C-alpha cells in the first residue's frame, strides 16, 4: 500500500497517489475572475485587479 507523505492517507499505488496529490494537495492559488491569471496570494491578485481591471465591483 502506498501512503501519501503529506497527509498520510493510503492511496492505491503510484497512480492513485498521483491522482490524490493532484486533487488534495495541488495549490491552484487565487485566480482573477476577469482574465483567469493565477496569483499565489490574495494581495497579489488585489494589486492586479486594481492595476489591470480597476476594481469597481
Ligand atoms: Zn495526501
Ligand atoms: Zn485579471
State residue 55's pLDDT score. Answer: 54
At residue 56, φ and ψ (nearest 5 deg) are -120, 15
User: Quick one: cell of 44?
Assistant: 497579489
Asked whether the beta carbons of 33 and 21 are under 8 A apart, the reply is no
Q: Which ligand is nearest to the CA of 47?
A: 2
Which residues have CB less than 5 Å away from ligand 1 (the ion)?
4, 6-7, 9, 24
CA atoms within 13 A on the CB side of 3: 5
pLDDT tens-digit readout, 9-55: 999 999 999 999 888 888 768 888 889 888 888 888 889 988 999 85
Instruction: Assign 38 to helix, strand or coil.
Output: strand
Amino acid at each position: 500500500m502506498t501512503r501519501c507523505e503529506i497527509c498520510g492517507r493510503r492511496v492505491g499505488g503510484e497512480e492513485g497517489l498521483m491522482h490524490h496529490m493532484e486533487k488534495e494537495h495541488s495549490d491552484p492559488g487565487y485566480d482573477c475572475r476577469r482574465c483567469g491569471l493565477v496569483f499565489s496570494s490574495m494581495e497579489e491578485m488585489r494589486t492586479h485587479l486594481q492595476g489591470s481591471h480597476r476594481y469597481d465591483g
